[in-house]
Amino acid sequence: MQPVDFTTLMAVCAELRSGWLPARCEQVVQRDRTTLCIALRTLNQRGWLTISWHPQAARLHMDAPPPKVPDTFTFSQQLKHQLNGYALVSIAPVAAWERAFDLGFAQRPGEPIQWHLYVEVMGKYSNVILANARGQIVTAAHQVSEKQSSVRPILTGAPYTPPPAITGPFPAIDEPQARWQERVALVPASLKKALFAAYSGLSSSLIRDLAAQANLSPGQSTTDLSPTDSCRLFDAWQAWLRCLQTETFQAHFIDGGYSVLRAGGTAATDVQSLLCEYYTDALNHQVFEQLKNRLIQRLKTLLNKLKQKEAIFLRRLQKAASADDCKQQADLLMAYSYQWQPGMRQMPLADFETGETINISLEPEKNAIQNAQALYKRHQKLQRSRHAIAPLLNEVQAQIAYLEQVEAALRQIERYETSADLSAIQEIHAELIQESYLEDPTYRPHPNHSHATLNVRKFQTPGGIEVWVGRNNRQNDLLISKAATDYDLWFHTQEIPGSHVLLRLDAGQQPSDADLHFTADVAAYFSRAQQADQVPVVFTQPRHVFKPKGALPGMVTYTHETVIWGQPAKLRDRFEQNQTPALTLVSF
């Protein structure tokens, strides 16, 4: 993830000063543990300023409104109490070439600044600090005790001190080329290392951009630079300094990140939208991978435990199956008790129905009647055991089927591509918490998890009919309970965990065999049998699909089904050609 450097911060603040000063602070909301949102209103517009002290994505820029969830963070409550109603009147760096900015708030534009909100964008040491007009710290996102840092503690009531000063030399636009070239070429090294050694205030992304503008590589040795190469690099260096001086920047997405200096890749509307899109996508991708790995590991552990429990119940049930044999032997002993003789350890007796000889083991200290009574007691005990184990086994098998269904849905979301992928994973996470398979004290319901909308995969059959595919159990349930009409057809792999699939039909519309087989291929592909050659798929009308009372999410029963064979390999070939399904937000 590309960190925000000094040049990017200057570009952001230039845009903020141009379009958002002065602005009234109307609301303060903390979105999560490292992200603050401040509602600003000018004479012409209203927007949300996002300030983050995330260790890998610290930044500030205008953003979309935060989700409407309860704000329980103390830091935001303190800021709200102090800043609400005040006007943001200034944005200035704390020191030259420092990635720390002072956001000044006054009662009205033109009046003295009453509050200073210091935003320090410094990787894992990033922080947001509120100080009053006397420079006294009122609150901070991170309190730093004297034990943690004797150089710069950050404590409520203490005076605010800027970060330790960066030692020079710093880039200067009036520096002659000969002097600049002498500094850069002083020690033979890669271009990147040489620039870092020669000047303070630089970043890896800046050097990448400067080298690209000069048609050079950051890893190229300074000893290999020709006079022409040095001139091109110095021109790029000067152009960068002029951008800082004139506050003119170019916002572009490039391979592996973004740039505010050079054209190339995809142009963004402005620096604000560039950072908003880049960091939203990057953080979503990070959360997606972490959450998916966590869920896969948890499901693996749960399934292993349940399958071990299932094996134990099956062994006990198999043992209990001998109950009828005990009763049969007891009946034979009672019928032929007159043949018993003292000291016998075994009695061979003929079966009542088949006449086959059955050897019955006896306890020699007991007579035939006592041995028969012991067998009757054992029969009753095994019967009770069988009646007790059967429902427990059914419950365990139902949980296994449910978790395998969840696992199949999780593995179908292979990688992060859009916010819908993260939303689908979060819905699975929320579902497992609600079903008590996961514990997460920090969990808060996601605002997008409304039961009125869902993001579904969408395909089109050869006949142009839409096919909707659920991405998790919540969506599977909504497809049946909300989305399906009496004219649709519901598809699912037969006795194999997978997604619910709807073939969307109009009144009187009849699908062709090609449409049915295509939909069956889709259902087979989005199931645990994705790698099979042929998969049995059932389809029926939605009115014949039922959700039993108390059933786990995504679990249904059905009747009046027709079996058709799906071939998931056909869809695999299609995906290899990058013909991925569309994702559409459906509202009810």
Q: Give the CATH fold of the 177-268 domain.
A: Helicase, Ruva Protein; domain 3 (1.10.8)
* Residue 193 half-sphere exposure toward CB, CA atoms < 13 A: 10
| Residue 274 CB contacts under 8 Å (≥ 6 apart), including other chains | 251, 252, 253, 258, 260, 268
The whole model's pTM is what? 0.78
* Residue 27 half-sphere exposure toward CB, CA atoms < 13 A: 12
Tracing tokens 């740039």 back to the chain, one arrives at: 259
Domain boundaries, the chain: 6-140, 177-268, 293-447, 450-587
pLDDT tens track of the chain, all 588 residues? 899 999 999 999 999 999 999 999 999 999 989 999 999 999 999 999 999 999 999 999 999 999 888 888 999 999 999 999 999 999 999 998 999 999 999 999 999 999 999 999 999 999 999 999 999 999 999 999 988 888 889 999 999 999 988 887 899 999 999 999 998 888 788 999 999 999 998 999 999 999 999 999 999 998 888 999 999 999 999 999 999 999 999 999 998 899 998 777 889 999 999 999 999 999 999 999 999 999 999 999 999 999 999 999 888 877 776 777 777 778 888 888 888 888 888 888 887 877 788 888 888 888 888 888 888 887 888 777 778 888 888 899 989 999 998 998 898 888 888 888 898 899 899 889 988 888 877 666 655 544 456 788 899 999 999 999 998 998 999 998 888 999 999 999 998 999 999 999 998 899 999 999 999 999 999 999 988 999 999 999 999 999 888 888 888 999 999 999 999 988 877 766 554 555 454 544
Give me 205's structure tokens.
Answer: 């992304």
**From start to end of 260-408, where are the E strands?**
266-267, 346-350, 357-361
* Of 108, 111, 119, the residue nearest 52 (C-alpha): 119
Position 247: which residue type?
A: E
Give me 312's structure tokens.
Answer: 């134990």
Q: Give the C-alpha separation, 477 to 512, whole Å.
A: 27
Region label for 258, one of left (φ > 0), alpha (ψ between -120 and 50) or beta (otherwise): beta
Q: Do 101 and 91 form a contact (C-beta atoms < 8 A)?
A: yes
Q: Give the C-alpha separation, 408 to 426, whole Å.
A: 15
Which pLDDT belongs to residue 581?
52
CATH no. for 6-140: 2.30.310.10
Which pLDDT belongs to residue 62?
95
Which pLDDT belongs to residue 587?
45
Q: Do 478 and 454 form a contact (C-beta atoms < 8 A)?
A: yes
Q: Does the fold of domain 177-268 match that of domain 6-140?
A: no
Q: Give the C-alpha separation, 390 to 397, whole Å.
A: 11
